[in-house]
A and B are shown apart, each in its own frame.
Chain A
Amino acid sequence: DIVMTQTPSSQAVSAGEKVTMSCKSSQSLLYSENKKNYLAWYQQKPGQSPKLLISWASTRESGVPDRFIGSGSGTDFTLTISSVQAEDLAVYYCEQYYDTPFTFGSGTKLEIK
């Protein structure tokens, strides 16, 4: 199974600051035939179901603010929030869908100072 490792496990930032979080996979998620990375980012706010933010490592879902930026390729991926807002308080998970069984990272909890 592909192991997904997220760091840090939590971080606290002030509103307006930039935040980055990392997701590393135990094997490449880049499919050579279509040059796509099979990596998604989810946001889960307290008491809510997860919400898909980004697929294919960098493609934002419709309606997701452009302050959420996904980047990376192969085994190293990053989610950046360019200017954190109070409503971004959540746990962020990466997920690989390159191969079954799909697997999630353990999450990064974002706290607002």
Chain B
Amino acid sequence: QVQLTESGPGLVHPSETLSLTCTVSGFSLTGYSVYWVRQPSGKGLEWMGRMRYNGDTSYNSALKSRLSISRDTSKNQVFLKMNSLQTDDTGTYYCTRDPYWGQGVMVTVSS
């Protein structure tokens, strides 16, 4: 069955880089697009970006300058890297492949 599992550090210091991994099973990354969505605590959903099935990427306009999404198809993994983190980047980060969502990973940006 289709599963997506996010992993990464729970705590990141301000100005540092966030690195998250989405490990998928039950489908091929060359057949489906995978998306990253985040949710600041107590707030709404924010679309971050997409790794398309063909390897193309798209990004949220406001995050584009500090966000990078990549993949390793042999490991069934999609990666998110975002630099220059600030406290308002705190929240839950999800990877998703419609209609499936991961459980999310909570990231806190704090010194």
Contacting pair A101 B98 (CB below 8 A): no
Contacting pair B47 A103 (CB below 8 A): yes
- Please, which residues of chain A bring their CB within 8 A of the CB of B102? 49
Interface residue tally for chain B (C-beta within 8 Å): 20
Contacting pair B99 A61 (CB below 8 A): yes
C-alpha spacing A51/B103, complex, angstroms: 11
**For the complex, is A52 an interface residue (Cβ under 8 Å from B)?**
yes
Could you say which of B9-17, B20-28, B55-63, B69-77 contacts chain A?
B55-63
- Please, which residues of chain B bring their CB within 8 A of the CB of A52? 98-99
Total A-B Cβ pairs within 8 A: 47
Interface residue tally for chain A (C-beta within 8 Å): 21
Could you tell me which B residues sit within 8 Å of A by CB distance? 35, 37, 44-47, 49-50, 58-61, 94, 96, 98-99, 101-104
Could you tell me which A residues sit within 8 Å of B by CB distance? 1, 40, 42, 44, 49-52, 55, 61, 91, 93, 95, 100-107
23 examples of A-B residue contacts, CB within 8 angstroms: A40-B98, A42-B45, A49-B102, A49-B103, A50-B37, A50-B101, A52-B98, A52-B99, A91-B44, A95-B45, A95-B47, A100-B50, A100-B58, A101-B58, A101-B61, A102-B35, A102-B47, A102-B50, A103-B47, A104-B37, A104-B44, A105-B44, A107-B45
